[in-house]
Structure 1
Amino acid sequence: MPIAPPRPCTHPGCVALVRDGSGRCAKHPKPAWQKPANATKRITGRRLQAMRADLFTRKPLCEVCEPLGRVRLATIRDHRVPLAEGGADDCGPGSNEQAICDECHDEKSLQEQIRGRMRAAGNGCPPSGR
């Protein structure tokens, strides 16, 4: 059975060789992910289904596409301010929910993912030149 060659630790600036395949040396273990203590609780189950039905009845078209002159059916109940960034999981007029299409949701999710990775790396803003 072949054995993989040792690789440098993935922690920035560390050059220690790692032989166990974990990617990190003993000095720089990767921290386990934990949900923040102040994280917003998600609504689930029948209550969520009723909220989605109510939202799509009130707003059947994508709220992001409409101002751009595109007409697309809303398929996803999304949060304007993500729950991970302190947004509320509420419903009704003036709430944090919005009805959007799959394409707009994918684009918004990508931006949220980039922001989350920047926060995790300890850098509050994206690198210059992007």
Structure 2
Amino acid sequence: MPSAAPRPCSHPGCGVLVRDGTGRCPKHPKQSWVKKPTAAKRITGRKLQQLRKELFDREPLCRPCCMAGLVVLATMRDHIVPLEEDGQDVESNVQPICEPCHDVKSKAERARGVQRAWGAYRDR
């Protein structure tokens, strides 16, 4: 049975041909995901449910929509500065937000995360 054609290593800037199907040469193995030791502890369960209820009782409308002059009910408890970007899980860093606003904000946060991840490759 024929084998697949060799492909270049998927590490940026590496052109070594890889024949084993992993996509990476021995010099650039894929790093496995590991939670950072400095990652913020997330609130979960009943405590989170209570915090959401208190937030929506206090401020039921989406904060970004209100700033734009719209009246939209909030459905999510959002961290203004994301925990991944060293934000804290405290009341001053939390806002009520609707799902469309959350999607836009999350997309921007993901883009910044990708930039941080690829920045490590440029240093090598």
Q: TM-score, normalised by structure 2?
A: 0.90
Give the aligned partner of residue 45 of structure 1: 45
Distance 2:58 2:22 in 1: 50
1-10 or 18-27: bigger deviation: 1-10
> Helix, strand or coil: the match of 1:98?
strand
Distance 1:18 1:8 in 2: 6
Would the alpha carbon gap of residues 2 and 101 (structure 1) be closer, same or farther in structure 2, given more than 3 Å must change? farther
Give the aligned partner of residue 8 of structure 1: 8
Distance 2:19 2:42 in 1: 40
Identity across matched positions, percent: 60
What is the CA-CA distance between 1:63 and the residue it aligns to?
A: 0.3
Give the aligned partner of residue 26 of structure 2: 26
What is the CA-CA distance between 1:20 and the residue it aligns to?
A: 2.4
Q: Which runs of 5+ in 2 are unaligned?
A: none
> Helix, strand or coil: the match of 1:116?
helix
What per-residue deviation string (whole Å, max 9, x for no partner) do you get for residues 18-75 of structure 1? 1222211111011112222111100001000000011111111100010101111100
Q: Does residue 1:120 correspond to 2:117, yes or no?
A: yes
Structure with the higher helix share, 1 or 2: 2
Q: Which runs of 5+ in 1 are unaligned?
A: 124-130
Give the aligned partner of residue 105 of structure 2: 108
Q: TM-score, normalised by structure 1?
A: 0.86
What is the CA-CA distance between 1:2 and the residue it aligns to?
A: 5.8
What is the CA-CA distance between 1:15 and the residue it aligns to?
A: 1.0
Give the aligned partner of residue 77 of structure 1: 77
Give the aligned partner of residue 97 of structure 1: 94
Number of positions where the alignment pairs a residue of Structure 1 with one of Structure 2: 120
Deviation >3 Å, runs of 4+: none
Give the aligned partner of residue 86 of structure 2: 86
